Chain A
Amino acid sequence: MLTYKSIQELIDNAEKENARISDIVLSDQAEQMDSSKEEIYKNMAYSFSVMKESISAGINSQSKSPSGLSGGDAYKLKQAMDANRNIGGRIFTGMLARALAVSEVNACMGKIVAAPTAGSCGIIPAVLITLMEEKEIPEEKVIMGLFTAAGIGMVIANKATISGAEGGCQAECGSAAAMAAAAAVEMLGGSPQDVANACAIALKNMLGLVCDPVAGLVEVPCVKRNAAGASIALTAAELALAGIRSVIPPDEVIDAMRSVGESMPGTLKETAKGGLAATVTAKNIASGLKKGIRYC
């Protein structure tokens, strides 16, 4: 059985079995949950279908969240892309739009898959489903990719944390970016070592990111950080697939993330007392919402 205490364990086992990380994670989870591989795969396929639904629900929606702080931005970006007013190509811009879409669905009380958390729920679906559609990757590979993402996420949760209250945004959006990059590399044919490099490169580029939600809500800056997190994931996947290595191995990057999180002051860990949440505008928004005044 796997312990999920290091990325190295996942690489070693995959290499030993001459399998993908997703294969060894799926087999192990079936064993640990006393279930069949088919059953576990079916459950993951359901999560995948909810991810797809959350994208289509968000990308065509102009409705606003209860606070009025978010909603409609994915639609704007999609419109820009359809009119060829975008800078990035279909992969880059399409991915940003999908990340916004899922995060906005979350803010608007829609159905999402926490991946690994609700605050970071847009990154993994955006990266994986954009690549699936633009690179014509079969669905089965994407669902397996979610097992790779989950395996990486379990190691991060064991070695560090995936909670913004404990480790800041680097623990939520940073973990999601690392998980997405890892899954993307596997889906595109990278080796377990490439997967590990993608994970390390993504997380390195999210280190130090604080959790400073305006008015304590999972909206500002969370929604746009999902878009940015997806772009970091794509950057890391691109580099790793070209054979570029992370000088610092992934397990040490995760240790660094934990220690950065520990040294972050409490004001920057989901308490809405520091960072963007402490700005004049944020304070005005927060006091307005307390009186029942929606932002517009």
Chain B
Amino acid sequence: MNVFDIIGPVMIGPSSSHTAGAIRIARIARMFVGEDIEKALIKLHGSFADTYRGHGTDKAIIGGLLNFDTDDIRIRDSIQLAKEAGMQYTFEVADLGDVHPNTAYIEVTGKSGRSMSLMGSSIGGGNVVITRINGLEVEFTGQYHTLIIQHKDKPGMVAKVSGILGSNGINIANMKVYRTSRGGNAIMVIETDDCIDMHISDVIKEIPDIFEATTLHKL
């Protein structure tokens, strides 16, 4: 903790959990597709579902999908700006199961057709946890530079990826692998201290049995 955790953050109100956190969850989806979003489906659970109109959680999420940061005053007008940008979206109130009270499910398709889905929770003070990517259970916060690799579950994958990161001087802070079943689809989530250049993820994508490698800049 430092002085700027106490006098700060600078943010768009009214609530760090229902506004700032919601922006961050949506922004991770936007960063993941890496292009302007054409279509989005948003499901709101629990307290998000109960209070989203009053807290402006809908505007926050649309703002995040437009790649606005938590202190961007345009959040207030995000609905109008999304219309102007030709973004189609639907909000639904849903029961997402046994999850944190402030949880959202977001499904997006980018202009070039790239799509993804995620589930994330706003856990207080604007901090978030992403709990699902494309249906697979994961856990990361966006507080680090994050590399998300979708691959086939087989021996040696971790070594190949970490080798490339190491030879590019990137230090791994945290790392975890999640899979559907042995030999099935898997996701590697690597949080790093250093920013990961696009060319590094392009090299990683060349590894056989890696389907996708996405880099997220830290929030």
Contacts and interface: CB of A to CB of B under 8 A. Distances in A.
Contacts of B5: 154, 157
A113 interface: yes
A111 B7 contact: no
A217 B51 contact: yes
B192 interface: no
B75 to A, nearest CB: 6
B193 to A, nearest CB: 14
Interface residues of A, number: 53
B73 A116 contact: no
Contacts of A107: 13-14
A110 B12 contact: yes
Contact of A44 (B3, B14, B16): B3
A47 B13 contact: no
Most chain A C-beta atoms within 10 Å of own C-beta, residue among B1, B11, B54, B124: B54
B71 A111 contact: yes
Interface string B168-186: 0000000000000000000
B134 interface: no
Contact of B10 (A50, A105, A108): A50
A75 interface: no
Contacts of B50: 216, 290
Contacts of A289: 51, 53-54
A10 B75 CA distance: 39
Contact of A112 (B4, B10, B75): B10
B14 A218 contact: yes
Interface in A189-228: 215-219
A244 interface: no
A229 interface: no
A65 interface: yes
A179 B6 CA distance: 10
Contacts of A105: 13
A110 B8 contact: no
Contact of B9 (A29, A33, A114, A179): A114
> Which 3 interchain pairs have the tightest Cβ spacing?
A106-B13, A150-B3, A153-B6
B131 interface: no
A157 B53 contact: no
A114 B124 CA distance: 13
A124 B73 CA distance: 22
B53 A121 contact: no
Nearest to B51: A216
Contacts of B3: 25, 29, 40, 44, 146-147, 150-151, 154
Most chain A C-beta atoms within 10 Å of own C-beta, residue among B3, B9, B16, B47: B3
Contacts of A110: 12-13, 73, 76
Interface residues of B, number: 31
A136 B59 CA distance: 40
B133 to A, nearest CB: 28
Given A216-B47, A218-B55, 6 more contacts: A47-B7, A47-B10, A107-B14, A154-B3, A217-B54, A289-B51
Contacts of B56: 66, 109
A256 interface: no
A163 interface: yes
Nearest to B75: A109
B19 to A, nearest CB: 7
A109 B1 contact: no
Contact of B11 (A25, A43, A112, A215): A112
Given A47-B7, A47-B8, A113-B8, A218 B13 contact: yes
B70 to A, nearest CB: 10
B162 interface: no
Interface string A229-255: 000000000000000000000000000
B112 interface: no
A256 B156 CA distance: 56
B2 interface: yes
Interface string B42-64: 00000100110111100100000
A153 B7 contact: yes
Interface in A16-63: 25, 29, 32-33, 40, 43-44, 46-47, 50
B121 to A, nearest CB: 14
A165 interface: yes
A67 interface: yes
B202 to A, nearest CB: 33
Given A67-B53, A154-B3, A157-B6, A217 B12 contact: no
Interface string B24-38: 000000000000000
